[in-house]
Amino acid sequence: MFGMALSSVIGLITTILITRTFGTQSDINAYFAANRLTEILFVLVSGGALASAYLPTFTGFLTRGDLRGAWRMASAVANLVLLILVLACGIAWIFAPWVVDHILAPGFSDTGQIELTVSLLRIMLITPILFGMSGLLMATLQAHQNFILPALAPAAYRLGMILGIFLFVPKWGIYGLAWGVVLGTCMHLIIQIPGLRGKGATYSRTLGLDDPAVAEVGRLMLPRLLGVAVVQINFLVNTNLASRMAEGSVSALTYAFALMIMPQAIIAQAIAIAALPTFSAQVALGQLKGMRDALAATLRGVVFLAFPATVGLILLRREIVGALFERGLFDSQSTELVAWALLWFAAGLLGHSLLEVVSRAFYALHDTRTPVLVGVGAMSLNVLLSILFSLAFLRLGRAPIGGLALANSLATAIEATVLLWLIHRRFGGMDLRAQRRGITAIILASSAMAVTIIIWLALTGDQSVWISGGAGIVLGGAVYWLVALLLGVPDAKEIPEAIFKRGGADA
């Protein structure tokens, strides 16, 4: 969580610098459209799809003490990933003009903006190859219960972007930001390499096409690959639709989603990343009851942190966006546009957070098919809802990007609910009565927090956004934690104790 929080803070600084420099105008819209394809290539080949299949298999070797088999399998997977990414990026480089004009941003009518998007895309196609190796290294370290370097890698990536903004952008404009992304990707990989020391790592020049372990990774990866592909298609649809809306819609949607994903990363991704190796080891040892209990406690902790974050983000959205971004080329109109999208994205924070954990429980059980099938259905619904809700918002006279954000939140909530029900059936029950008691207390504490924030905003309406927003976050959080303690929510006491205990042990 500390690493994720640090990465999120540096990521926030990066976003502030970008918004100050480029606002929500055409250049940054071209950058975000180009960056969408590079993210897709990374996620499809070596991001979430590969990690969810590779990590449980690699952990199985470690649990059995077979280091030679583990590193032979890791080498084969790395070689395959490198080969596939080089070919995919090469093809994308050649057909970049067609990809931009027909898939990424067909709504860009300005020829200069289209050509800019193509040029930026070709620069950033270097990054999926580097991210591929870095993502595989990240999963390997996590399998060894080494979380700090992987958690700091995103911070190193953002630092590279910041260097690009200060060193490259003054000379090359938006192209400097693209080269900053390349620099950041290199730093994302390099910072993790020292983590291999003492792990007995060896490299084999093989593709492992006849290796059963590699075949197992492929078998687990294929369903997950389909699910990730559907999610990325949904992002493409959103970028496509936003490019047809008012100027600034693509960047506003990106900024709003980034703000929502920050607490999700600190709360849910950090917990889920740490939990997956433990879940996988419990499955390898046949300790399914232990995994069930660990999963239930983990989900309770996620709800305890994510639900009030959702409420706070909704109530303080304008203050947060204004305080962070409103300067330079990012004006009050940009603030309203981003805050409007954030309102509807924030409604999905709890669903996104629960999904991070429960999907990894299935991966640990070597079941990538179930979450993928559910995810395909949910994201297909997301595409349909994106079209319908954006049209509905437009008819109501509101910015249609709110409909795109709402569609994402609703589809994700449905996906998380279905997976929770399925994992409950898989384990034959997860003590839902106790969970309901805790959730009721969390809702009451969050309600007290909401009332406090609303009163505070009414009293400080003429104050700066830093006072109304910043103090509102601190005051609301304090009220939530105090009420939760009084209502006997276990996490209100256990989470601080765990943090201080770990801190004392580290000291």
Q: Supply angle C-alpha 79, 80, 81, rounded to 5.
A: 95
Whether pLDDT at 431 is above 80: no
The answer, as to whether pTM is greater than 0.85, is: no
Mind listing the pLDDT tens digit for each residue in 228-254?
676 667 777 777 777 777 777 777 888
List CB contacts of 162: < 8 A, sequence separation 6 or more. 10, 13, 14, 17, 180
Nearest to 92 by CA among 135, 121, 117: 121
How is the chain split into domains, by residue range?
26-243
Mean pLDDT, residues 207-222 taken together: 79
Mind listing the pLDDT tens digit for each residue in 101-129?
877 777 666 677 788 888 998 998 988 88
Mind listing the pLDDT tens digit for each residue in 35-46?
877 777 766 655
Are the beta carbons of 186 and 5 closer than 8 angstroms? no
Nearest to 300 by CA among 110, 71, 444, 492: 492
Mind listing the pLDDT tens digit for each residue in 155-195?
898 899 999 999 999 889 889 999 999 999 999 899 989 88
Alpha helices, DSSP H, located in 168-211: 169-172, 174-190
Poorest-confidence range of 47-56, 205-214, 298-307? 47-56
pLDDT band, very low/low/confident/very high, at 25 (cuts 50, 70, 90):
low
pLDDT at 132: 83
Q: What is the mean pLDDT of the chain?
A: 82
Distance, in Å, from the CA atom of 24 to the CA atom of 328, rounded to the nearest integer, reads: 11
List CB contacts of 133: < 8 A, sequence separation 6 or more. 46, 78, 81, 82, 189
DSSP state of 166: I
pLDDT at 504: 47
Q: Where are the beta strands (DSSP E) in 52-182?
A: none
Torsion angle of alpha carbons 479, 482, 486, 489, nearest 10°?
Answer: 100
Distance, in Å, from the CA atom of 40 to the CA atom of 338, rounded to the nearest integer, reads: 23
Distance, in Å, from the CA atom of 455 to the CA atom of 167, rounded to the nearest integer, reads: 44
Tokens at residue 147, please?
A: 């979380």
